[in-house]
Amino acid sequence: MADVPNNSPDQPAVVPPHTQDPPREQRTGVRQTLAWMRDLMLSVVIAVFVILFLYQPVKVEGTSMMPSLVDQERIFINKFVYRFGWSDVQRGDMVVFWFPQDPSKSYIKRVIGLPGDRVRIDFGQVYLNGRPLIEPYVPDEFRDRFSSPETVVPPDKYYVLGDHRSSSNDSRSWGPVHRRNIFGKAVFVYWPPEKIGPLP
């Protein structure tokens, strides 16, 4: 005799296991994981974009920019401001550039002379276009007695000096820096904590 299905309302319907939907908690967990992965990927893309095109963290090595910047300080440089011509290199900017005599190294110095400027140094005193240059960022104890004859900064080049004149290797030794070698402007100190803030 064939079995007769029990259609009694008291008998619950049996659904094969492979057709059952996953529990609501499991579906919610999968969605949250996918959303987290999406947000992580987006954050990575944004971080890469910022580092490549906008701001880059760098470490100061050496004492040539004391007291403005000291050895082992961490700073952000703005690579966007010069790259697309939104701003010209200005006198007084602290710029980061590839060292002309060894492009594998990068230096940071302060811009003193722009293209066409006349720069002369007399016993440590900088003269710009015939007038003494006021440099409050260079303490007396960091000055030296160096002298050099007047030179005209060539087109597309910049005369740069370190703030610590007695321990800086700069344009006094190897001449002005070409514009194409300048790739960033120092804008912000983020380490150590007591010095966190924008650079003048």
- Describe the chain by its helix, strand, coil percentages, rounded to 5: 25, 30, 45
Residue 173 pLDDT exceeds 80: yes
pLDDT per residue as tens digits for the range 91-100: 999 999 999 9
Q: What is the structure's pLDDT at 56?
A: 86
Catalytic residue among 79, 109, 157, 185: 109
Asked, for residue 12, whether it belongs to a domain, the answer is no
Total domains in the chain come to 2
159 and 111 housed in the same domain: yes
For 55, the enclosing helix (H) or strand (E) is strand 55-59
Gap between the Cα atoms of 61 and 108, Å rounded: 9
Given 8, 43, 59, 64, the catalytic residue: 64
First to last CA, the chain: 98
Residues 76 and 169 in one domain: yes
Q: CA dist 155 to 59, 98, 138, Å?
A: 30, 18, 27
pLDDT at residue 80 tops 60? yes
- pTM listed for this prediction: 0.74
To the query of whether residue 109 is one of the catalytic residues in this protein, the response is yes
Interior CA angle at 136 toward 130 and 141, to 5°? 105
Q: What are the tokens at 76?
A: 């952000």
One-letter amino acid for residue 166 of the chain? S
Indicate if 147 belongs to the active site: no
Instruction: Give domain status of residue 152, yes or no.
Output: yes
Q: What confidence score (pLDDT) does residue 115 get?
A: 98
